[in-house]
Amino acid sequence: MAEVMKLHYTVSGDDFTRAGETSSKVKKTLNQLGFRPEVVRKVAISMYEAEINMVIHANGGTIDVDISPEEIIIVMQDTGPGIPDIEKAMQEGYSTADHNVRELGFGAGMGLPNMKRYSDDMQIDTEVGKGTCVKLVIKAKE
């Protein structure tokens, strides 16, 4: 494959039932490229949680995925409300999601912890009122 494959997606924020479609596409692409199942799984789960967050908290955004044989880098940018207290948001069980989101099986306060658990590196830049940028790196080599 080429040195780096670059993918760009726009995630709609108005339809929760479609949240996860982008992660699904990326998962399919990585499988087709022949990445190891553990690597594909780590990307799929961490990206899916981030995509869900983007839809339920930030009304959508953009996702850029850079795929190289060494690593997969996912950058997710939104213009949502930002995260006022990152430390709290990283705690398992802490959530600001409303009742509707919880009814759908999310908002249990596992999103950011899961993203951290399944990625090799996670960086979050956030500003209240401006938006959040999440960068996830998953190493593809053993």
Partner 1 sequence: MKLSTVKELLDGTVLTGGELLEQEVDSAFGSDLMSDVLAFVENRVLLLTGLVNPQVVRTAEMMDISAIVFVRGKCPDENVVELAKSKGMVIITTEDTLYVASGKLYSNGLTGSAKEG
Residues that bind partner 1 (CB under 8 A): 16-20, 23-24, 27, 37, 41, 44-45, 48-49, 52, 104-111, 113-114, 117-118
Nearer to partner 1, 35 or 106 (CB): 106
Smallest gap from Cβ 117 to partner 1, in A, equals: 6
Nearer to partner 1, 41 or 135 (CB): 41
How far is 20 from 22, CA to CA, in rounded Å? Answer: 5
Q: Which is it for the CA torsion 4, 2, 6, 50, positive or negative?
A: negative
Smallest gap from Cβ 95 to partner 1, in A, equals: 9
Smallest CA-to-CA distance from 97 within 113, 108, 82 is with 108
Nearer to partner 1, 73 or 97 (CB): 97
Smallest gap from Cβ 41 to partner 1, in A, equals: 7
Structure tokens at 125: 């830049």
- Longest CA pairwise span in the chain (Å): 45
How far is 62 from 75, CA to CA, in rounded Å? Answer: 8
